[in-house]
Copies of this chain bind each other. A is one copy, B any other.
Amino acid sequence: MKNNVRQPQQERSIEKKNKIIQAGYKLFAEVGYHGTNTAEIAKEAGVSTGAVYDYFCDKRDIMISVLHLYVENASRPVMQILTEAKPLDVPKVAAEILDKTVSIHRENARLHNTLHALAAADEAVNAAFIALEDHVTQKVAEALAANGIQRQHAAERVHLAMNMIQSFAHEYVFDKHEYIDYAAMRDIVCKQIVSLFE
C-alpha cells in the first residue's frame, strides 16, 4: 500500500474523487464488492483506471469511502427525524424511523450485506458499523433524555429497538415470506418499541 495518495483540494479533484465513490457505491450495491473490479469502477465514474489510484491507495480504500458514505446515508434521515421531533412523540417517531429505515434498506440492502461480510476480516469496516450504531444510539438517548424519558438501561433499550427496526427492514426487503403479513408485523414492532420506553 502506497500512501502518496492525493488529498484533493481543488474542486475538480474533489468532484472526481466523489464520482469514484459514487461509482463504487453503485456497483458494490449492484453486484457486491467481489463482483466489481476497479476497471469497472473507473469506467462507471468516467475516469481512467490510473486516476482511481491517484485518489485511493487500493480497492479496499474505495470500499472504506463507500462505507462512510453509506453510513452517512443510512444515519442522516434518522438523525433528521430525531432533530425535528420536538416534543418527542415516541410512537410516532418510532413509526417514522421504522418506515424510513425500510426505504433506506430498500436502496442499500445489497451494499449493506457486502460491506457487512467484509467487517469480520477488516477491523476498520467493523469499527465503522459499530460507530454508526454508537452515533444513532447516542442521538436517540439524548432525544429521550431531553423529553424526560428516563428508563433504566436506556442504551440497551435503544440498541434493542434499533435492532428490531433493522431486522424488520431486512426481512421486509429481502425475505418476503409469503405467509407473513408485513403490515401487521410492522405494527407489532412499533408497539414493542413503544413498550421499551414507557
A residues within 8 Å of B by Cβ?
Answer: 31-32, 34-35, 109-110, 113-114, 116-117, 119-121, 126, 129-130, 133-134, 137, 152-153, 155-157, 159-160, 163-164, 166-168, 171, 174-177, 179-181, 184-185, 188-189, 192, 195-196
Report the minimum CB–CB distance from A58 to chain B (whole Å). 15
B155 touches A180 (CB 8 A): yes
| Docked CA distance A168–B160 (Å) | 8
B177 touches A134 (CB 8 A): yes
Q: Could you list 17 further interchain pairs (A-B, Cβ under 8 angstroms) beyond the known A137-B177, A153-B184, A192-B192?
A: A32-B117, A114-B120, A116-B116, A126-B174, A129-B175, A130-B177, A152-B184, A155-B177, A159-B171, A160-B168, A160-B185, A160-B188, A163-B164, A164-B167, A167-B167, A188-B196, A195-B195
| Docked CA distance A195–B114 (Å) | 34
- Tell me how many chains of this kind the complex includes: 4
| Docked CA distance A182–B146 (Å) | 25
Q: Which residues of B contact A176 (CB under 8 A)?
A: 130
| Docked CA distance A130–B178 (Å) | 11
Q: Which residues of B contact A167 (CB under 8 A)?
A: 160, 163-164, 166-167
Q: Which residues of B contact A34 (CB under 8 A)?
A: 34
| Docked CA distance A180–B163 (Å) | 14
| Docked CA distance A117–B97 (Å) | 25
Report the minimum CB–CB distance from A40 to chain B (whole Å). 9
Q: Which residues of B contact A117 (CB under 8 A)?
A: 32, 113-114, 116-117
A156 touches B180 (CB 8 A): yes
A181 touches B168 (CB 8 A): no
A120 touches B109 (CB 8 A): yes
B156 touches A188 (CB 8 A): yes
Contact partner of A113 among B120, B159, B184, CB < 8 A?
B120
The 8 lowest CB-CB distance pairs between A and B, nearest first, are: A117-B117, A163-B167, A156-B185, A110-B120, A153-B184, A113-B117, A34-B34, A114-B117
